[in-house]
A and B are shown apart, each in its own frame.
Chain A
Amino acid sequence: MKTPKLLCTIAAVALAQGSLFAVNTDPVGFVSVTVPANSDAVLAVPLNRTSEFKGLTSALSGTSGSVTITVAGTPNWTAGQFAPLATANKTYALQLASGAKEGLVLPITNNGTNTVTVSASDNLTGVLASGEQIDIMPYWTPASLFPSTLAAGVQFFGFSAPPAGTNLAAIQIYSHTGSGVWENGDDFSDASNEPLPFTSAFVLRNGTASSQVLSFVGSVPMTSHRMTLATLAANKAQDIRFGYVSPVASTLAQAGLAGVGTPAVSGDQILVFNNSQSGINKSAAQILEFDGTDWTDGETFDVVTNTFQFTPGFGYLYRKFGTTSPTSVVWQDIQSYLQ
């Protein structure tokens, strides 16, 4: 278990003792953001929902696609308790908490009394075989993330599973109808419990005449930030909306975007948005560019690798430079407070 160097907390909660199958409670934190009236804000959640299981693996069946993981010991789960929407309108994820792919998030499709089945887009060969740490926690959803007192009419714009290219408009639109109920703009279905992907950024559009103050409350992530940066078509740059998973401000260098092992390549850009500025469909307030060694401000050409900081709760846009064929790289980084 990593020892945190810095906690962003309301109160630190003592770890549970004894059984591997008790939930060792992570530190709790909160991050507050404000969305101006009649404006968009680009946001991301730097905290997790409370973990409902922490333990070790003992066996793995399958390496990709539908994979079944056997946990060590006897957790005495109820079969199906982690199936999507089977438990209190929750959709669960299994996150690797150790090993080469620490931070990888796998959606859970079902479970047995001591097994859990996930949908693995990554090849898990050599991963999760035995003795690896895992966390099971529910995805954030609009109803669980945002307060029910949020003004009716506020809209959530998601960008998950985007098509190839840049300047992509919203793909998921959920509107708050009031009292914590969210509606899907495509077909008017209930979107209150739609899972929000880890590390994803979203736009919150406040169409009301009053600013909206949001407080994200959750568990401090105790595993690495991990996400994929990929181009989807040949010779075409790709926009990827993201948030750095940390409740603590971090520089680009601290976030692993410079130096040895960085996933960044020359030509990559990060678009930064001013969330305190009024307006919708706002263009980037700052563009950072990677020259192969450092990140620079696109307007002033100043080197910002060790000065620009990701703000907790804010979302960003990573514009991956076009490649001759679709390419995927992993951005995996241990947060500064875990080192």
Chain B
Amino acid sequence: MKVALLPLLCLFASTAFGTVTMQFSQSSVARATGFANHAGVGTGGMRWGIVIDAGSNALQGGSYDVFDTSVSGFLSVGGVTTDDYYFAGGLTVASVGSTPTIPSGNDPGGTGVISQLTNVAIPYGTGGIGSGDAFSLIWFDGASAANSYYGMLANTGPTAAFTLPNDGDTVSYAAYFAGTTADPIKAANLQFPGAAPVPEPSRMMLIGFGLIGLFFRRRR
């Protein structure tokens, strides 16, 4: 079976970038934990990133075509490029321990931890991407392939809403995550489409060929 890996279209009409640092875990506030594989196990080593709603028209998470998760670019649905921009991040951390929070108490830590995007250049001005755009976290259960799984997490506020920072800013979204209790497990429960099946001859065609073969045999 063949799987078509549709290429990401990287439309850089402008070379402007927003260089930002985005913290999702912040010591003494909260850790972003609970990012789990499809089986619901918080796991280290899963690639993660963000998907930006450049068109401000809601993301089409759950419908994306398979793509190379190590490469940033606009995602496709059914072979058609969308205005959802994927920015590749790092890898989840297996586990992290507890840390004091403000003013007191402990973040119990957890497994499947996302840390931060450090001093990354996001193509502001390209395809409508800009500060203030909403984004979702996305993480992948293994290498992307037909039928593989991924997860997405949005946050529209009121606490630490997931919106892109201004160029040059360092912003923390950690307050969104649980600071005194464990974060809920977030399983990768979205699935890439399966491979397109190779067309097989119809039963009638097979019967037809058989009949033709019988016809020529009788004529001899």
CA distance A165 to B100 in the complex (A): 36
Chain A residue numbers with a CB within 8 Å of B29 are: 153, 207
CA distance A173 to B29 in the complex (A): 14
**In the complex, are the beta carbons of A168 and B102 less than 8 A apart?**
no
B46 within 8 A of A: no
- Which of A157, A162, A187 has the largest count of B CB atoms less than 10 A from its CB? A187
**In the complex, are the beta carbons of B118 and A171 less than 8 A apart?**
yes
**In the complex, are the beta carbons of B102 and A169 less than 8 A apart?**
no
Q: Is the interface of A mostly helix, strand, loop or mixed?
A: loop
Chain B residue numbers with a CB within 8 Å of A166 are: 168
CB < 8 Å neighbour of A173 from B17, B100, B166, B170? B170
CA distance A281 to B93 in the complex (A): 28
Interface residues of A in 138-192 (CB under 8 A from B): 151-153, 155, 157, 162-163, 165-171, 173, 175-178, 183, 185-188
**In the complex, are the beta carbons of A186 and B116 less than 8 A apart?**
yes
Chain A residue numbers with a CB within 8 Å of B27 are: 152-153, 175-177, 183, 185, 188
Chain A residue numbers with a CB within 8 Å of B155 are: none
Once A163-B119, A167-B19, A173-B118 are accepted as A-B contacts, the answer to whether A188 and B168 lie under 8 Å apart by CB is no
Chain B residue numbers with a CB within 8 Å of A327 are: none
B70 within 8 A of A: no
CA distance A165 to B20 in the complex (A): 12
CB < 8 Å neighbour of A207 from B93, B102, B165? B102
A87 within 8 A of B: no
**In the complex, are the beta carbons of B93 and A188 less than 8 A apart?**
yes
CA distance A104 to B18 in the complex (A): 34
**In the complex, are the beta carbons of B96 and A188 less than 8 A apart?**
yes
B25 within 8 A of A: yes
**In the complex, are the beta carbons of B26 and A185 less than 8 A apart?**
yes
**In the complex, are the beta carbons of A173 and B21 less than 8 A apart?**
yes
**In the complex, are the beta carbons of B28 and A171 less than 8 A apart?**
no
A208 within 8 A of B: yes
**In the complex, are the beta carbons of B115 and A169 less than 8 A apart?**
no
Chain A residue numbers with a CB within 8 Å of B102 are: 151-153, 207-208
Chain B residue numbers with a CB within 8 Å of A152 are: 27-28, 100-102
CA distance A151 to B29 in the complex (A): 12
Total A-B pairs in contact (CB under 8 Å)?
92
Once A153-B102, A186-B116, A188-B93 are accepted as A-B contacts, the answer to whether A169 and B170 lie under 8 Å apart by CB is yes
CA distance A178 to B104 in the complex (A): 11
**In the complex, are the beta carbons of B119 and A170 less than 8 A apart?**
yes
CB < 8 Å neighbour of B119 from A155, A168, A175, A188? A168
CB < 8 Å neighbour of B99 from A168, A177, A207, A281? A177
**In the complex, are the beta carbons of B28 and A165 less than 8 A apart?**
no
**In the complex, are the beta carbons of A177 and B100 less than 8 A apart?**
yes
Chain A residue numbers with a CB within 8 Å of B20 are: 169
Once A168-B119, A170-B118 are accepted as A-B contacts, the answer to whether A281 and B100 lie under 8 Å apart by CB is no
Once A169-B21, A177-B99, A178-B100 are accepted as A-B contacts, the answer to whether A187 and B28 lie under 8 Å apart by CB is no
Chain B residue numbers with a CB within 8 Å of A183 are: 27, 99
B68 within 8 A of A: no
Chain B residue numbers with a CB within 8 Å of A170 are: 21, 118-119, 170
Contact with A along B169-189 (1 / 0, CB 8 A): 111000000000000000000
Interface residues of A in 190-239 (CB under 8 A from B): 203, 205, 207-208
Contact with A along B153-171 (1 / 0, CB 8 A): 0000000000001111111
B81 within 8 A of A: no
Which residues of A come within 8 Å of B, CB atoms? 151-153, 155, 157, 162-163, 165-171, 173, 175-178, 183, 185-188, 203, 205, 207-208, 281
30 A-B residue pairs with CB within 8 Å: A152-B101, A152-B102, A153-B26, A153-B28, A153-B29, A157-B170, A163-B19, A167-B168, A169-B19, A169-B118, A169-B119, A169-B165, A170-B119, A170-B170, A171-B21, A171-B118, A173-B116, A175-B26, A177-B27, A177-B28, A177-B99, A178-B28, A186-B115, A187-B115, A188-B96, A188-B115, A203-B170, A281-B165, A281-B166, A281-B169
Given contacts A169-B118, A281-B166, A281-B171, 10 further A-B contacts (CB under 8 A): A151-B102, A153-B29, A153-B102, A157-B21, A163-B19, A170-B21, A175-B26, A176-B27, A183-B99, A281-B170
